[in-house]
Structure formats: structure tokens, C-alpha cells
Amino acid sequence: MGFEKIIFYLFSALLIMSASMVITVRNPVKAALFLVLSFFACAVVWLLMEAEFLAIVLVLVYVGAVMVLFLFVVMMLDINIERLRAGFISYLPVGIVVALMMAGMLIWIVSGDGSAFNNSVTHNADYSNTRELGRVLYTDFLYSFEIAAVILLVAIIAAISLTLRRRPNTKHQKIENQIAVKRNERVRMVKMKAEEKK
Amino acid sequence: MIEWITSVLSFLPSELVTVITILIKIVVIVLPLMIAVAYLTYAERKIIGAMQVRIGPNRVGFFGFRMFGLGQPIADALKLMLKEIVIPNNASKFLFLLAPLLLIGPALAAWAVIPFDAQLVLADINAGLLYVLAVTSIGVYGVIIAGWSSNSKYALLGAMRSAAQIVSYEIAMGFALVGVLMAAGSLNFGEIVRGQEGYGFASWYMWPLLPLFVVYFISGVAETNRAPFDVAEGESEIVAGFHVEYSGMPFAVFFLAEYANMILISGLASVMFLGGWLSPIAGLAPDSVFEIPLLGLLLGNGIHWFFAKMAVFLFFFLWLRATFPRYRYDQIMRLGWKVFIPITIFWLLVLGIAILAGLPPWFAAT
């Protein structure tokens, strides 16, 4: 068994273990941390599939940014675990349906004629995944790429404008006034006679 | 050297030999790094001492000689190793001990792709810049997990501050790195350095990318939670922030990680903006200068220039700490979001125009 296979089975097992821990562990902070671990294991599996760029971006975006903000919120919440568990049974049928659909899709793809897998080409070490991806994104799929970027920008602006409230009475500081301040506005020089000796 | 090791180990399966040689290379990088970390703490105490007209550590030496206190880091390390590890009540024990490792792991792993020399690099991968960005972004989990698992409000406050700060400054840092990869046309660190060859120090990317260079270094200071951005520790407000509950070796690992991160940021800055191992006069001075025995070797390209450039940045880190008072939290957020990100976006536009125009000597079409 090759070294690559050892790594593959190790991290696949880690991925499945951590993904199932996400939904079974009681503590929401620990669940979020297991999700981080599953992203990481997934990135390693992608690396073995020679998708270096996607693997690194998965770590960079999901592990490095999204999950940090996620943890940030989860830590601040005072979540009542008992109440969460009470809703488990009522959500179960919907969950089972979704899970069956996902499993069905996976089985349908895997049990096909295998054309999706067999035509994968392995490249040498000097093949730059990033360059190829960039070339395709900025030439063949330019419009869809740009449209996706605009949609994301709209989403950002919408999220900010939804949460932005004008509160006129806050005592926030005006930085430009602070920087423009002169000595004379803050310090008053007082001339005094020296104390006389008695 | 490597050939010799492979020949000695030839009785083992070839994959195992590969693993062993990589492990040896890792040790060769990490061991000097750890020594550098230890002596960086010594340098910090000495330099800040000099700036504040104090002497700094000058007692502990070797074999009965004081030697300007050079034994101090070793003594500190020994002391921390012998201390008891206290784990707070109701703390999540596994996460509590995992947190320091999560902080130091990325700081060491990022060194895998940094070229010390034209040949000396552990993994010469194509997406080196992205790898460093991704790996260093994992470090924030160490801080967050430490803060949360300590079961202490000061630690949690420190973790929250740190998380918000690191996420904010990572965006400015990422944009600064986008400038570097635009200028070099590559994500590979070796090619980034080779793109800065030509007219000595005038060809370094710090000139066309000056605003990005400044933004990168200041963001680097913020990412490492060093003064003046050390609100995560904030010893005058929240005791010691995220590592207030740590003692003994776990605390020492936090300490090591902070300094390892400083060295990493310095190394990255010198590779991306100051031309890594390139000599400042290579290409400017006549070739006969580099043929002088010994002196020519010193003046030519080499690993010593990389270390010298790193030392300059490390000195800046210490200088900043001795000079500036701590930023207030809202000022940190303003600087990151409202100053740095607009500056970097504007300069990326300027840079794009400069590259299109083929501005010499950096972007002249070859």
C-alpha cells in the first residue's frame, strides 16, 4: 500500500469521524471546532486529488475566515442544549428525507458508467493548477465569473445596509477632529510668579 | 548530504526514505528557528532595555562567566519546563492543552515554502504564497480555543478581541499579497525573489509596492498580536488576555509561538518586498567586486542577506513595542477597515496601470 493511500484513508476516516461528531456532540462550540477539523481533512483529501488551489482556498476561506466568525458568534450565544435536543425528533423526518436524497445522488453518480472518474489526468509537478484555473476563469467563463462577483458584492451591500442603523446620539469620536487638534485647543499656558522665599 | 542519507537508508522502502529525509530537513529548519526564538526574547529585553536606559538581563552566563547575560533564555526555558501545569476548574482539558499547539504549529509549518537561498527550500510549491496565507490563518484558532477553554472571562475577552482583530487585518494583508503576486506574476516564492533581480536594491518590490509594503508590515504586527496592537493580551486591562490561565510549558509554547510568528512575518516581508537572498548591490557593482575572495562572497547573493533583512524587520518589531502606546480597540478596527483596505485597493489599481505600461525597471517587458 502506497504512502498516498495511507494518507487518503487516514484523512477520509478523520473526515467522516469529525463530520459525524459535528451533529452528535452536545456542545455547540465543540461542534463548530469539529466542523473546522472536517474542512481541514477535506482539504487534505482534495490535495491528494491534485486540486491544490481549491484545497488551499478551502482552508483559507472556510477555516481561516468563515469558521472564525462562526465560532465568534457561537461563543457569545448562551445556547440552551436541552431545548435544542427537544426539537430533534420533530426535525428528524425532514432530515431523513434530505439525507436519503443526498445519498441517492451520490450513489447515482458513483454507480454510473464511471466516465466521470476514468478520464482524470495526472500532471507533473511543474503543472500549475492555479494558473490553469485562472486562465479558464478569466477567458472561457469570464461572464459567469464576473456575474458571480457582482452578486456577491450586492449581497455584501445588502447585509451591511440591513444591519446599519443610524443612531444620532452615540458619543463616538470624530477621528479627523482628533487628528487636526492643535496644542492651543488643549493646553493653556499660565504664567505664574515663582514662589517667594519666606 | 541528502544523497548520503538516502544511501545509508537504502535498505528501507523508498517511500519511508522520502519521509525520513523530509523529517530531517524539517529538523534542520525548526531547530535553528527555536534557538532564534529563544535569543529573540533576549534581544528584545536587551534592545528595549537600551531604549529605556536600562541594562537588561546581564547575570546568567555559561560556566561561571556572565557573558552579557547570554544564558538568560536557556535559564528561562528551563524554569518554565519545571513549573507545574495548572488546569483551571471546569476547563475543557483537551482543548486547553491543544490551543498552544494550534498556535505554534502554523508558525512553524509556514517555513516549509520559504526559500532561504536559490536552492535551499523544503517544498518549492507553485502556490507558496497562498499556502502561507492559508496556514497562518489557522493560528487564530489557538487564541480562540485558549480563550474559550480557559473558562475565564478575561481569557474569553482576549480571545474575542484577537479574533476580530486578526480577521480584519487578514483582509488588508491578503490585498497586499495580491499586489506582490501581480508584480511577480507567480505565487511561488522562488520566482517572486527572482523577479526582483536586476539593479540591486532598486529592483526590489518595496519601491513599486511601497504602500502595500507598509500595510503588510503593520498588518503583520497586528496579526502577531504585538504592541501596539496587543489588545488580545492587554495586561493593563484584561490581565494577560487569552493566556491568563496558562502556566509552565503551555505558557512557554504561547510565548514561543508569538516570537516564531514575528520571525515568520519578518521572513515573508524580506522575501516578498526586499528580495530575499539577493544582495543589494548585485547588478549594480561591477562583477570584479564579487570575485574578491571572502569579501566578494559576503557582498554577493546569499543566505546571509536573507537573515540580515529579517533582523532589520525584527528590530522594527521591538522598536515599535518600545515606542508606541497601545491602540484602542475601535481605533484598531478603523485603521484596518477604513484606512488599510482602501489604500490597498487603490494601489492595486495603480499597480495594474504600471504593469500594463511596463514601468521599468520592475515591470519592463522581457
Task: Render pLDDT for B251-299 as a digit per residue (tens, 0 to 9).
Answer: 888 888 889 889 999 999 998 888 888 888 777 777 777 777 777 777 7
A79 touches chain B (CB under 8 A): no
The answer to whether the CB atoms of B167 and A59 lie below 8 A apart is no
Residue whose entry in the numeric block shows the C-alpha cell 516564492:
B189
A1 touches chain B (CB under 8 A): no
| Interface mutation target, options B126, B150, B192, chain A, most CBs of A under 10 Å | B126
For residue B254, what is the enclosing H or E element?
A: helix B248-273
| Among the listed residues B249, B160, B205, the one whose alpha carbon sits nearest the alpha carbon of residue B359 | B205
Which residues of chain B are under the pLDDT cut of 70?
1-3, 5-6, 9, 234-235, 365-366
Q: Cα–Cα distance between A130 and A138 in angstroms, integer? A: 12
For residue B344, the model assigns a pLDDT of 92
Q: Which residues of B touch A71 (CB under 8 A)?
A: 144, 148, 163
A103 touches chain B (CB under 8 A): no
Judged on CB neighbours under 10 Å (0-12, 13-18, 19+), A25 is middle
For residue B365, the model assigns a pLDDT of 61
Q: Which of A29, A53, A64 has its CB closest to that of B148? A: A29
Q: Which of B125, B127, B167 has its CB closest to that of A65? A: B167
Q: Which of B133, B144, B187 has its CB closest to that of A68? A: B144
- Strand partners for B62: B65
Q: Cα–Cα distance between A133 and A145 in angstroms, integer? A: 12
In order of A52, A133, A190, B135, B299, the CA distances from A140 in angstroms are 21, 10, 74, 31, 48
Q: Cα–Cα distance between A130 and B127 in angstroms, integer? A: 7
For residue A113, the model assigns a pLDDT of 66
B172 touches chain A (CB under 8 A): no
**What DSSP line would sit under B73-137, residue for residue?**
HHHHHHHHHHS-----TT--HHHHHHHHHHHHHHHHHGGGG--SSSS--S---TTHHHHHHHHHH
> What is the least distance, in Å, from the CA of A45 to any CA of chain B?
16
Q: Which residues of A touch B187 (CB under 8 A)?
A: 130
For residue A132, the model assigns a pLDDT of 82
Q: What's the ipTM?
A: 0.80
The answer to whether the CB atoms of B126 and A65 lie below 8 A apart is no
B184 touches chain A (CB under 8 A): no
For residue A15, the model assigns a pLDDT of 92
Q: Which of B92, B130, B148 has its CB closest to that of A56? A: B130
B164 touches chain A (CB under 8 A): yes
Q: Cα–Cα distance between A43 and A64 in angstroms, integer? A: 13
The answer to whether the CB atoms of A64 and B134 lie below 8 A apart is yes
Alpha helices for chain A (secondary structure H): 3-24, 28-48, 52-57, 67-76, 81-86, 88-110, 115-118, 129-138, 142-163, 175-179, 183-186
> What is the least distance, in Å, from the CA of B26 to any CA of chain A?
19
Taking chain A (198 residues) in runs of 10, the rounded mean pLDDT of each run is 80 91 83 89 86 86 84 74 67 88 87 64 71 85 92 93 82 80 86 83
Q: Cα–Cα distance between B181 and A59 in angstroms, integer? A: 19
On the CB side of B210, how many CA atoms lie within 13 Å of its CA? 4
For residue A84, the model assigns a pLDDT of 62
For A1-78, the fitting CATH number among 3.10.180.10, 1.20.120.1200, 3.40.50.2300, 3.40.50.970 is: 1.20.120.1200
The answer to whether the CB atoms of B166 and A71 lie below 8 A apart is no
